Amino acid sequence: MRKMVQLEETCDDPVKLEAMKQAYRRGFKPLSNFNINEFVRNPALVQGAMDPEGPAVQSFPAVAVSRLLEGNRSFVEQHRIRGNEVGPDQRMNMISVATLLQECASNHAVAMWGRSTEGFASDPSMKGLIFVMTRMQIQMEHYPRWGDVVQIETWFQEDGKLAAQRDWVVTDAGSGRVLGRATSTWVMINMQTRRLSKFPEYMREKCECFQERPPRHAVVREQTRQKLPDLQLPAEIVGPIQVARRSDMDMNGHVNNVTYLAWAMETVPRDIYDDCHLYQMEIDYKAECLGGDLVESLASSCDTPDVLASNGAGPGALSFVHVLRRCQGEKVTELVRCRTTWRAGEPTVSSSDA
């Protein structure tokens, strides 16, 4: 009874107080050196506090602050995997990984140039110019689970006179194990004309101090920029018609890059999605999509590139080419072409959970 009174005097949160009372009634006995104030702040930290006969309740690990690394040549941040970023198996999928990479890239841009009202990947002095992604390639060896903390390192470098390249490496923050890698190509677009623009010289000078020297590549060069095959019609798989919603728009005024990936995944055969591991996704962005557009999703099986089958995807890998097309009456415009490559026997989602 004295301990109950002590709990009531120490804790003014009725929900937490009731949880601690129930734990005490079920047999939790504080040790002599037990700090009741610590228990009040976070009862889950005490082993067996909520279930003395079950496993210890563990809190999620802390997340470090994002920062530019020494020399300002790359940017790193940590992220705890949230519940809305995982599927029925409590693991991330390729869509949530791509979202995380995009967020990290935006944070890197802010760290370099400051926040802009122009949108993603824009320097305040760029005067209506923005960087737009034209291609992305993601390889995932392992998908992190809910509550895991991952560390993402990203950097960029010029790629000729009209393009820039951004790479990422995703690791487990605790062990340092590499979970995935990604690379992307970006070009500069005039927001008013929506046309391609050369990099202004002042931007080249401003970006020089942030670029990797010599160039560094997250994905093996021989595996990048593989030509995506044409989709022969009629397609083997026809997915549901998608409608570009207002909520799909990003701050640059068009459908977010990641939304296309989600649409493409709707054409993956169910047995492949259930029983295989999505190792790689390559995507070419060909035209922009705006709110209200109707988008057709098509897919067919295709060959896996030899360089990928022999190093990464492994023997027996399966690949599909996906095409998203905007339908405006009789006019059809290809928006995105994508290839997914799957490892056999490594399920991304358990069929029993889906």
Residue 53: pLDDT band by 50, 70, 90 thresholds?
A: very low
Q: Kindly tell me if the per-residue pLDDT of 245 is higher than 90.
A: yes
- Counting DSSP H helices and E strands in the chain, the numbers are 8, 13
- Based on the residue annotation, tell me whether 142 is a catalytic residue of this protein: no
- The per-residue pLDDT for range 221-240, each reduced to its tens digit, is 888 989 999 999 999 999 99
- Based on the residue annotation, tell me whether 327 is a catalytic residue of this protein: no
> For residue 191, what are its two tokens?
């927001």
Average pLDDT in the 48-64 region?
A: 55
- Based on the residue annotation, tell me whether 256 is a catalytic residue of this protein: no
Q: Which residue has the tokens 């999605």?
A: 273
CB 131 within 8 A of CB 182: no
CB 200 within 8 A of CB 129: yes
- The per-residue pLDDT for range 120-167, each reduced to its tens digit, is 555 666 677 888 899 999 999 999 999 999 999 999 998 877 889 999
Considering the chain, what is the average pLDDT of its residues?
A: 82
Q: Kindly tell me if the per-residue pLDDT of 43 is higher than 80.
A: no
Q: Which is nearest to 212 in space by CA: 249, 179, 164, 180?
A: 164
Q: Kindly tell me if the per-residue pLDDT of 16 is higher than 90.
A: no
Q: Enter the pTM of the model.
A: 0.79
Domains and CATH numbers, the chain: 1-46 (no CATH), 61-225 (3.10.129.10), 226-346 (3.10.129.10)
CA distance 341 to 347: 13
Which one of the listed residues 79, 93, 108, 254 is annotated catalytic? 254
Lowest model confidence (mean pLDDT) among 46-50, 164-168, 224-228, 323-327:
46-50
Expressed in percent and rounded to 5, the helix, strand and coil fractions of the chain are 25, 30, 45
Using alpha carbons only, give the angle 324, 326, 303 rounded to the nearest 5 degrees: 20
Which one of the listed residues 104, 289, 302, 338 is annotated catalytic? 289
H-state helical runs in the chain? 2-10, 14-25, 36-41, 94-113, 201-208, 257-265, 270-275, 306-309
HSE-up of residue 194 (Cα within 13 Å, Cβ side): 6
Lowest model confidence (mean pLDDT) among 72-86, 159-173, 303-317:
303-317
Which one of the listed residues 93, 252, 256, 257 is annotated catalytic? 252
